Structure formats: structure tokens, C-alpha cells
Amino acid sequence: MVVTEADLDRLTNETLELLQALIRNECVNDGSYESGHEDRSARLLENELEGLGLDIERYETGPGRSSLVTRYHGTDPTAPALCLMGHTDVVPVTPEGWDRDPFGGELIHGEVWGRGAVDMLNLTSSMAVVFRHIVKSGKRYPGDIIYFAVADEEAGGIHGAKQLLDEQWDHLKCDYVLTEFGGIPVSTSLLLTTAEKGVGWRRLHVEGTPGHGSMPYMTDNALVTAAEIVRRIAAYDPGARLDSLWEQRVRAMNLGPELSEKLLDPGSIHEVLALMPPALARNTHSCSHTTFSPNVIHGGVKTNVIPDRVSIDVDVRTLPGETSADVDAHLKTALGDLYERVRTEILQDEPATASPTDNPLWSALEKAMARPYPELTLVPSLVTGGTDSRFFRQKGAIAFGAGLLSPQVSAEDFLMRFHGHNERIDVESLRLTTQLWLDVVELLWD
């Protein structure tokens, strides 16, 4: 939708204020069913969108947990529908690590501070503001536009997008989805999420023989075995798997022929990773490897008892094309002779998902992003974590992670702030993102 500069100023200000309010609602999802309290933000958004003449549905998926859906009908029922989806929950904080109140939503030197400022209340707020502006204007587009503010993304979407897509597909039905995250300027490119890694979470049960802690000599201590298993998993290198998404990403990084060739060669990729700043290296490593992170260990009952049972939870993230059997094959290799000592329990198995780029949504994003950044190329990228996009991809929709960051925020900063301390976003990025949604809507059905 075409707007004047004055309108864009006003809409950016509305995005800013809504973002502050969403941060202050403190919808912290710690993974438990009772956390989140997304009701607060669902009600707030309901108030924001009231009076537009649309039906607004609020779906309860748990105590204090609700998600909001509203649809603005297009003129042509056969035209593809676009869903703007933002989650309303945020991850917990460690307040000691912050220089400001993580739930204050303060505006300081042109930046809004608070948990959710980049993940992803910035998008949830700008989408709501743009949606409201479009409906208020009365302008109709061929396809429907849906606004979906969803709970529980940060704990895997089980009580949010997953449940609602299973139960309410009639209400959520769409062809295209925009959600977190993308529009990050890196060198001469803008990264936009088109794919995400799969999860292959495993719990490894290790058994030993109980005994008295005062006589450890020659005992079969499950914790000691588990420690060696953890060490082997941490040291395991599954080797790089470099596909066409990876190649596009490397070309986009524009590192010059020598570094690029090394990044495209599984034999030398680690030489380059070692030279990168830590956050970027981590991300680059994860986009080219299946990863294994042993993150939880349970075991032992008493200081003077040799433990006979220990369990280790391993966060495994798979690349597109990898199966559940591949995960187990990796663990077998990583553990070597100790593989026989564990019983493997599958905690979660979901393959990686990806959306193609030869479609009108990608073209609209390319054109829209070229307005503020004519010199940058839009590059499809893989994200290492899961987002709610995957549930829509499983339903056959094309889903991208978008948004737009100003040059003030480097990719390194952005990645550090994601779930990190001192999360914040500059107002210029809010303005660019607000403009982006307006432009995409205008260009999508052209």
C-alpha cells in the first residue's frame, strides 16, 4: 500500500508504541504449560484491531494462553491469501546481564529495549499496525490478508501454531506466510529465511551398577560413563553438508574467491570458521552442519551412592534432506563402543522444511526490499532454530521469514541479541519493516 512520508511516520510511531506495550506485557514462555500468559497480548491486540468491522477470533490453547486470528477478505476468492504471523511470547531473561529493564520497553537513543525487541515483537507489532491501516483505508486486494498473533512459538508451537493449524485450518487457510526473521544486511546481500533446520532431539539413557560411594574403585558408575558420552558428542564432527542454499549464502557473503572456495569445500571450511567473530561462526557452522548439543543431564540420588541411571538430552538439529535414521547413525558414530551402553529415546523428530523462491511472494519481497536497499541482493537462507513457518510449510503454504533491519544493526549484533542480553531494536528498523509490509501487500497481487 502506498503511503505518504507523514503516514509512514505515524505508522512507525504506532509500531513503536505497540512494541513497547507488547514488551511490557512480559509474555515469558519458559517452556511450561502454565507460562506464556499470551492472553495479555492477545487482548491488547484485540483492542487494537477492534472497530474495523472484522471478525476477530481468540483461541484458547491453555490456561492464560490465547492466540488471535482475523481475516480481511480480498475481492477474488481464488487469489492466493497472505498470512502475517507474529508470535507474542518471548524467552526468559537473566536480568543481571541487562543494562536496562528487560520488560521496560524503554526508548533510549532511538532504540527500544526489551525482551522481544528483535524476536519478534518488532514484527508482530508492525504487522498489526500495517494490517489495521490497510483495513481502515478500505482498499481491497485480490487475496485475503490474515493477521495471526500466536502463542507458544518459543516452546515449539505445540500450544500455538501447531495446535491451531491442526484444529482451525479453515480459519487460518492461506497460501503465503510472512513471519520471523529476515532482511538482515550482510555484505552485499539481504538474508531472508526460506528454510529451517529440523530437530532430532534424543534422550540417551545410560545404565550402570549402584554401589557405595566410599568404594568407587572398579565400579560401573553411570555418571562417569555419561560424562564420556557427553565428551564424545561435544567433540563429534559430522562433517559439512554443503547444498545449493549454502552455496548461495557463501556467494552472498562476498568474502573474495579464496575464502569462498574454502567455505565451499568441506575439507577447509573449518579454517574459515576459526577466523570469524563467534556469533557469526556459530551460525555459519550450524548452517553447514548437523549439530549435536548435550544440554540436559539427570542422574544420581545421593552423594554416597554410585549412580546406576543417568539420562542425557541431546539437542540435534538436522539439515534439509536428513532423516530420523540419519540422526541415529550420527550418534552411533559419535559414541563408538559406548553406543551399546545407551538406550535412545526419541523426544522430538521433525525434518527440516524449506520453501521455494520461484513464486510471487519472493518477487514481491525482492522488489520491496530493493526500495531501501537497491544495492543489495536478496538471498534465501536457512535458519538454525525452528519457527512456526514449518507448520505452514507442512500444510503446503509458502512461508518466509522476513522483516528489515537498518544498517545500524550488524548481523553479529542481531544474532547476539536474539535470546541474548540487552535485546533492542532501532526505530529506523521499525520504520523499514513497517514500510516493507505495506510494499509487499501492494506488490504481491500485481
Q: Site residues (CB under 5 A) for Zn ion?
A: 119-120, 180
Minimum distance, C-beta of residue 401 to Zn ion, in the bound complex (Å): 9
Of 38 and 119, the one with the shorter C-beta distance to Zn ion is: 119
**With respect to Zn ion, which residue has the nearer C-beta, 84 or 204?**
84
Q: Of 39 and 180, which has the nearer Cβ to Zn ion?
A: 180
Q: How far is the CB of 123 from Zn ion (least distance, A)?
A: 9
Q: Which is nearer to Zn ion, 177 or 230 (CB)?
A: 177
Which residue lies nearer to Zn ion by CB, 48 or 119?
Answer: 119
Q: Which amino acid is at 59?
A: Y
Kindly state the smallest distance separating residue 181's Cβ from Zn ion, in Å: 7
Q: Which residues contact 199 (CB under 8 A, 6 or more apart)?
A: 315, 316, 317, 318, 348, 349, 350, 386
Q: Which residue number, 322 or 423, has a Cβ lying nearer to Zn ion?
A: 423
Task: For Zn ion, give the closer residue by CB, 122 or 318.
Answer: 122
Comparison of 119 and 439: residue with beta carbon closer to Zn ion: 119
Residue closer to Zn ion by CB (options 160, 238) is 160
- Report the nearest approach of Zn ion to the CB of residue 218 (Å): 50
User: What distance in Å separates the CA atoms of residue 274 and residue 259, rounded to the nearest whole number?
Assistant: 12
In terms of CB distance, is 120 or 438 closer to Zn ion? 120
User: Least distance to Zn ion from the beta carbon of 228, Å?
Assistant: 35
Longest dimension (CA), the chain: 80
Residue 152 or residue 175: which is nearer to Zn ion going by CB? 152
In the bound complex, what is the minimum distance in angstroms from residue 311's beta carbon to Zn ion?
28
**Nearest distance, CB of residue 197 and Zn ion, angstroms:** 15
Three-state secondary structure of the chain: CCCCHHHHHHHHHHHHHHHHHHHHCCCECCCCCCCCCCHHHHHHHHHHHCCCCCCEEEEEEECCEEEEEEEECCCCCCCCCEEEEEECCECCCCHHHCCCCCCCCCEECCEEECCCCCCCHHHHHHHHHHHHHHHHHCCCCCCCEEEEEECCHHHCCHHHHHHHHHHCHHHHCCCEEEECCEEEEECCEEEEEEEECEEEEEEEEEECCCEECCCCCCCCCHHHHHHHHHHHHHHCCCCCCCCHHHHHHHHHHCCCHHHHHHHCCCCCHHHHHCCCCHHHHHHHHHHHCCEEEEEEEEECCCCCEECCEEEEEEEEEECCCCCHHHHHHHHHHHHHHHHHHEEEEEEEEECCEECCCCCHHHHHHHHHHHCCCCCCEEEEEEECCCCCHHHHHHCCCEEEECCCCCCCCCHHHHHHHCCCCCCEEEHHHHHHHHHHHHHHHHHHCC
Distance in Å, CB of 318 to Zn ion, minimum: 20
CB of 85 to Zn ion, least distance (A): 11
Q: How far is the CB of 150 from Zn ion (least distance, A)?
A: 10
**Chain length of the chain:** 446
User: Residues with Cβ < 8 Å from 417, sequence gap 6 or more?
Assistant: 117, 118, 119, 423, 424
The distance of closest approach from Cβ of residue 98 to Zn ion in the complex, given in angstroms and rounded to an integer, is 19
